Amino acid sequence: MRSRAPLAVITAIILCASVSTPQASAHRPPRYAKQPVAVGSGGAVASAEFNASKAGIEVLRAGGNAIDAAVAVAATLGVTEPFVAGPGGGGFMVIYLAGSHRVVTIDGREMCPAACTSQLFIDPNTGMPLPFEEARHSGLSVGVPGMVATWARAVQAYGVRSFGSDLQPAIGVAKHGFTITPNFVQQEQAALPDLQAFTSSRELFLTPAGQPLAVGSTLRNPDLASTYRQLAKHGPTYLYGGPLGTDIAHTVEQPPVWPGTPLTVRPGIMTARDVANYVAKDRAPTHVNYRGLDVYGMAPPSSGGLTTGEALNILSGFRLPTENRTKALFQYLEASRLAFADRNAYIGDADFEPVPQQGLLSPGFAKTRRCLIGDTALTSPVAPGTPYPPYHACRPAAPVANAGHEGTETNHLVVADKWGNVVSYTNTIEQLAGSGITVPGRGFLLNNEMTDFDFAPATPTTHDPNLPAAGKRPRSSMSPTIVLKHGVPDFTVGSPGGSTIITTVLQILLNHIDFGMPLPQAIAAPRASQRNTATTAAEPDFFTSALAAQLTSRYGEHFTEQTGSVLPLNSWIGNATGIDLLPGGRFQAAAEPVRSGGGSALVVNPD
């Protein structure tokens, strides 16, 4: 297992990084280096990977705004973090527009093809749900990608440069290549059976012997460089209604299976028409007021904004800033437990399901959930509440629904520019390496987002809001978040991690707002994730802490250590990034100092 620095060491690393940034010259760009924290002016970027963050800074320096830079970062992550990002996936973008003083969001979630039914993952021979892994590495798991549609929509509506210009940094990295890191190889090892199962994935990502690439070697992706060039030249119609969309649909219908694979690979049901019909949708953001701050997030089909917002509403009735830290963390765990019960029962794609969004974010409903939190941990699964007025205190409702199969491998990026625009963008191809299927000759992996649907209801009589249907988008936990103070951005944050995204973002919000931690320390702090389960998943540094022991002995909380039994990267919960907007037009960009090898924070003009 990778050695883990304790929080005190992590904090020291952060402080050193924040003061060691080289001085910028008035005549030439600063010499950027990978670091978890950067402070300065002119704009800021934080992501999981240095080349991607640098691409965003290049766009900001060239006159692009935060929206342009976010697209450049995301496209470059598709090159350097291909197992968690790229044109074959989708995500959610939350944007603060300084010119109009408003928050807007774009839903780029993948969509189920027109032939989808609630029986998508039911084996016709047995009438039983498919094993998850068999469903994942199949064409059935691939949803119509929404990534490129999101990028194009964002730039067309809110950018100041052209879509093609914003793709140029990614084209350069794909053409010239990047250095393979230990974290990249760990991801290859974790996804090895799936990458080995498809000829196109073996050719792009593995050695001729079908093994992971060597640390320190250079990976070039001329196919993806060509794909990006065509998108830059022709725009999103090259994918949606064009030859790239046809190639995607053909790959889903006839996966390029390697003859020697032991895996059963089922064909999918996506057509070129499904791809052509995809639209990235504008959605109203979620909003709650917490401790005088306005917290904006993503609405359904994401559950992130509603679940985080409900938990904040529950916690608003406690005095976390002045309480004993153990008691405050107990209340955080219990609020998360209750909010997840409601998430699982009520949240799905609101275009298909009557999601009670107003009720879930009502302070009145939160009061009925808060009163269930006493002096002892609740026993999960806790039943959901009733988010419909009139709200009846302390009266749980019927059985809980499925929690689903969300993968933990995603990415989150944040950008802020000198004009005051801010972007918080979470995107993914779902599990590590997605479906495992690379589109031949195109240089990117396809998602397995359809496995985020529940395969079957919890019981035959339970209404499940997250079953597959034609044109439906599966429930997600992605939680890109922007926090305003007095109507202007105060900070922004988000994280990957599947369903743990919600608890990671929530814990960082509490660390920063209630516990007064600087944003880098709030991100670095050890994490625990309670999602209405019998035990709470905890990172090793949290699991072995005195706080965890006190939570167990005093409040009856029970923890399971999140371990990297196969790979060190599995012991982490999340991989967050954030930006704190400082007085005087300055920024503090923050990424992970240790998790997954550490992220990359940059500013245009370092202090």
**Among all residues, which ones are annotated catalytic?**
410
CA–CA–CA angle 197, 199, 201 (5° rounding): 80
Of the CA atoms within 13 Å of residue 326, those in its CB half-sphere come to 16
Say which DSSP state 570 is in. Answer: G
Identify the helix (H) or strand (E) that includes residue 600. Answer: strand 600-606
Tell me whether residue 459 is exposed, middle or buried, using C-beta atoms within 10 angstroms of its C-beta: 0 to 12, 13 to 18, 19 or more. exposed
Polymer length of the chain: 607
Crossing angle of helices 163-176 and 222-234, rounded to 10° = 170
Rounded CA gap, 181 and 214, in Å? 9
CA–CA–CA angle 19, 574, 414 (5° rounding): 55
The token pair that represents 278 in the structure block: 């995809």
Rounded CA gap, 451 and 447, in Å? 10
Do β-strands 559-561 and 536-538 pair in parallel, antiparallel, or remain unpaired?
parallel
Cα→Cα distances 81→85, 226, 300, 315, 596, Å: 6, 18, 26, 36, 12
Of the CA atoms within 13 Å of residue 241, those in its CB half-sphere come to 8
- Which residues contact residue 215 at a Cβ distance below 8 angstroms, ignoring those fewer than 6 apart? 180, 181, 182, 184, 185
One-letter amino acid of 317: G
- Is 12:37 a contact under the CB 8 Å cutoff? no
Of 138, 111, 135, whose CA–CA distance to 455 is shortest? Answer: 135
CA–CA–CA angle 297, 303, 305 (5° rounding): 20
